[in-house]
A and B are shown apart, each in its own frame.
Chain A
Amino acid sequence: MNPYIRYVGERLILLLATIFISMTVVFFVPRMVPGEPMNAIFANMAAVGGSMNAQEMIVEYRVRFGLDRPVWVQYVSFWRELAQGNLGISISNFPSEVSGMLLSALPWTIGLLTVTTVVSWVAGSVIGAVIGWRGRKAGWARLMVPVALVLYTTPYYILALILVFVFAFHWPIFPLSGAYSVGMRPGLNTAFIVDVLRHAVLPALSILLVSLGWWFLSMRSLIISLKGEDYILNAEAMGIKERRILWGYAFRNALLPQTTGLAISLGHIVGGALITEVIFAYPGIGYRIYNAIKSLDYPLIQGGVLLIIISVALANFLIDAAYPLIDPRIRFEGSGGS
């Protein structure tokens, strides 16, 4: 069998194992938390003043959700229903289905994260490579280093709040919150798309600027360390043009660890986006899962985490599959570091 195919096959198995193990953890951990998830339903009702003494209702709803069965039985039936594409019904938002609730939120999160991640990674790497390569010769552009440092150490949410304050309030260029204006109908027309873009700028910027700082710094650091490598010195001695050395040799070699860094940080980026979603009232998955965790809404937690893990694991898988194409040396040794 073609070694590359076998390599990809290995990574595929890893993908499936990841999903399986994570889902098992996500299944059991919330159930170990002391608390009655049914209370989420009744808290809703009681908050508007009703349903005292709802013991009978708790019992009835437990049956409806299958929570009266032993945990192992629930576990098995969870996988069985998953195979049929049924993510169950949300407890705290009964009778809404989990799949409906998540799928409507998913595009916003994916859209926001994909765009910001790709743009910040590409831009940061390119700018970082240039500044790193030119070293002292970069002159005023070296100011970017402290700027990047400041940016990357700022917590997402602080930057988000500052952006809201400055660009949505003081100078009302961008909208305060939301994914699109109230009253707009989602559809593939220019007006809607423009509206969505306008609403996405601030949330995207808050994530993008922070990530940009990081990718910039890491690529610059890589390039600097590579500059002294033998093959670089050799190439210079051979009289190869500087920009060719940068892009053809140094950048290509730095790309691998930079890509590794991207894969490693995907899980983290999702976490940061959660808080951003909260501040901008962006209707993504993060906020939904956060509320689900608080109310111990098992099906919603499971569904939400499943979607995120699939996305991240899939992204990792694609990056891993691309490794050998970037660096032939890595080809068949499995997951590489640098």
Chain B
Amino acid sequence: MVRSRGILLVSLLLLVTMAVTSACAAAVPAGPSAAELERAQTLNIAVSRPFADPTLFNIYAPGFDRSRTGLGAMVHEYLFYLNMETGEFVPWLAEGYEYNDDYTEITVTLRDGVTWSDGEAFNADDIVFTYEMLRNNPALTWANEANKAVAAVEKIDDLTVKFMLTEPNPRQHLVRETFPAVGVWSGITIQPEHIWRGVEDPVTFKNDPPIGTGPYRLEAATESAFSYVRRDDWWGTEVFGVTPAPVRVNFMHVGPETSVALALSANEIDSPAIAILSPGAFMSVKERNPNVKAWTEEAPYAWYDPCPRALLFQMAKPPMDDPLVRKGISSLIDRDQIVALAYEGATVVTDNVWPEYSGLQPYKDAISDIIADSAVTFNPEAAEQYFTEAGYAKDGDGFWAKDGQRLSPLLMTNGDTPEAMKVTQVIVDQLEAGGVAVQFQPLGGAVVDAAILAGEYDLYGPQAFCPGTIYENMELFHGKFFVPLGEPAPWYERNSFRYANPDYDAAVDAMLIALGENADEATLIDIFRQGMEVWYNDLPVAPLNQAPALVPFNYTYWEGWPSAENPWMMPVNWWATMNLLLTGYESTETGEWIPGIHSAGQ
């Protein structure tokens, strides 16, 4: 009896000891002042997934995680950066560019004094070599695009290069997949010739350590974090006279949404990447930690992502080949309810596929009458009319049917994306309420890609329409991207819905020509309107809402973040433009240096 109790006690003691030991370990202070000091000089960015391979630092390897690792922002730099907030095209590694008369050549002047992190000079040889490497290794990321657009790169002298294009393109300097300039995400990244020339197979090259021109170098990489430390010998310090404020920058994976929210509330991180925090979680964080702010002080808090969301119709097969059915379905969608339920009020509805940037407002104003007459708002009575006109009638259960067949479109979505799952839940309910017996199929991973590109859906959503500029978004609907069902379309929003209308194509082609001729805005708006008349009549997709780019910033340790009051830069930590957030840049309009973030309280 005694011994039984004894054994019981021993076991419990074991458990307790384990717990106590761990608690004691937890209580050991790491020197509060030293840790605090280090934290105040560190910038912590939370990313959405762990790093699958922390030994690979080759930005051109297909498996490399370009945005989450931060390599493109901290270590690599680009010739130009596009500040989409202000519209400035900021020269960085280069000083300027010039097209020839027929837009088949771009001559770029490089900046003097730029050096790689190992001391070698950055010059035209590196650019020529990078494009050569892309040409010789078509398996590299973007090699395909680059080779199609750029025929060759010629060195004029150490600080001048000439890009020879395969066809005239006045906007080539903005195409990041083919030209080393970035606005969103990243682009063609110039690599050091003296390192890469000897590499046998650039596709499998690990590139350890990664050599770049950026102000930081990679200190350590694990599955949970990529850690960067500031370089003392960055060329920008000499040439520009600035040093980025954070001594250390960590891109770290802290776990799912709840963990990120907790970390942000506890000041363990300074900013999460996009699409990690839902609006509701963000508001809870704000309650707990008043130092956390997003773009605006009031709802909807979010900055507008340049890619609005829309519902795709598969126009190559019935029933979505009938414009009346498309308009009927679009009229059944209550976009306000989607915003309220799926986005928790953190965004606004949209009736077109362009973002809410002030620069685009004149275009939207010009087509407001066209929009007013179209089926892009919630209007159940109109929906009934459309369906009836298309030959449908409600059957005994209240669902639309024709010739004994119910209208039963297949709605596919990406089941891995929380945003998509929430939006489709609401849409399915709305369509069913309107009498459409929609079939819902969430897919994931590689399976969803194959299905969407092959056009196996009737409805797909919500789809982001990038990049958000007038011409580029118009071009997504061009008939030149039409492929038959079953063959993979170029991409989801690049006509996987199989739209083909020659009148529309004509307007798009005219727009490209007009841009090349540097036509004035009035002409462009005119052409735009012509195209949109056709577009809204056909309604190839149903616009839903603007995309909330909810990016909270923690002002506890760092200040100077861009916001609605101070929109000096895009508030993004997941694009290659992030380094400008830390270093600042020289304004092309005023010549003044716009500073990057600084320590709080200074």
Contacts and interface: CB of A to CB of B under 8 A. Distances in A.
**Do A and B come into direct contact in the complex, CB within 8 Å?**
yes
A92 interface: yes
B139 interface: yes
A172 B249 CA distance: 24
B376 interface: no
Contacts of A174: 22, 26
B225 to A, nearest CB: 5
Interface in B51-65: 52-56, 61-65
B63 A57 contact: no
B446 to A, nearest CB: 4
B11 interface: yes
Given A39-B446, A123-B15, A176-B262, A61 B177 contact: no
Nearest to A193: B25
B445 A279 contact: no
A5 B145 CA distance: 64
Given A126-B11, A296-B445, A49 B185 contact: yes
Interface stretch (B233-241, B250-258, B314-322, B564-572): B250-258
A18 B600 CA distance: 60
A45, A56, A242 — which one has the most chain B CB atoms within 10 A of its CB? A45
Contacts of B19: 201
Interface stretch (A73-81, A94-102, A252-260, A261-269): A94-102
Interface stretch (A281-289, A315-323, A324-332): A281-289
Given A34-B447, A126-B11, A41 B144 contact: no
Contact of B263 (A47, A64, A173, A176): A176
Contacts of B18: 119
Interface string A18-35: 000000000000000111
Given A34-B450, A61-B62, A294 B258 contact: no
B29 to A, nearest CB: 13
Interface stretch (A145-153, A163-171, A230-238, A305-313): A163-171
A182 interface: yes
B340 interface: no
B11 A176 contact: no
Interface residues of B, number: 83
B361 to A, nearest CB: 25
B491 A46 contact: yes
Contact of A57 (B53, B138, B491): B138
B50 A57 contact: no
A332 B332 CA distance: 71
A16 B5 CA distance: 44
A178 interface: yes
Contacts of A36: 446, 449-450
Interface in B132-152: 138-139, 141-142, 144-145
A226 interface: no
A169 B52 contact: no
A274 to B, nearest CB: 13
B115 interface: no
A104 B252 contact: no
Interface string A192-206: 001001100100000
B442 interface: no
A81 to B, nearest CB: 17
A273 to B, nearest CB: 15
Interface of A: 33-37, 39-57, 60-61, 64, 90-96, 100-101, 104-105, 119, 122-123, 126-127, 130, 133-134, 141, 161, 164-165, 168-169, 172-174, 176-179, 182-183, 185, 194, 197-198, 201, 242-243, 246-247, 278-281, 283, 287-288, 291, 293-296
13 contacts: A36-B446, A39-B450, A40-B449, A43-B449, A93-B63, A94-B203, A130-B7, A176-B255, A247-B3, A281-B224, A291-B49, A295-B445, A296-B445
Given A56-B144, A64-B139, A119-B15, 20 more contacts: A36-B449, A42-B62, A44-B65, A49-B184, A50-B177, A60-B138, A94-B61, A95-B203, A123-B14, A134-B4, A165-B262, A169-B262, A176-B254, A176-B268, A182-B44, A182-B252, A197-B22, A198-B22, A279-B256, A281-B224
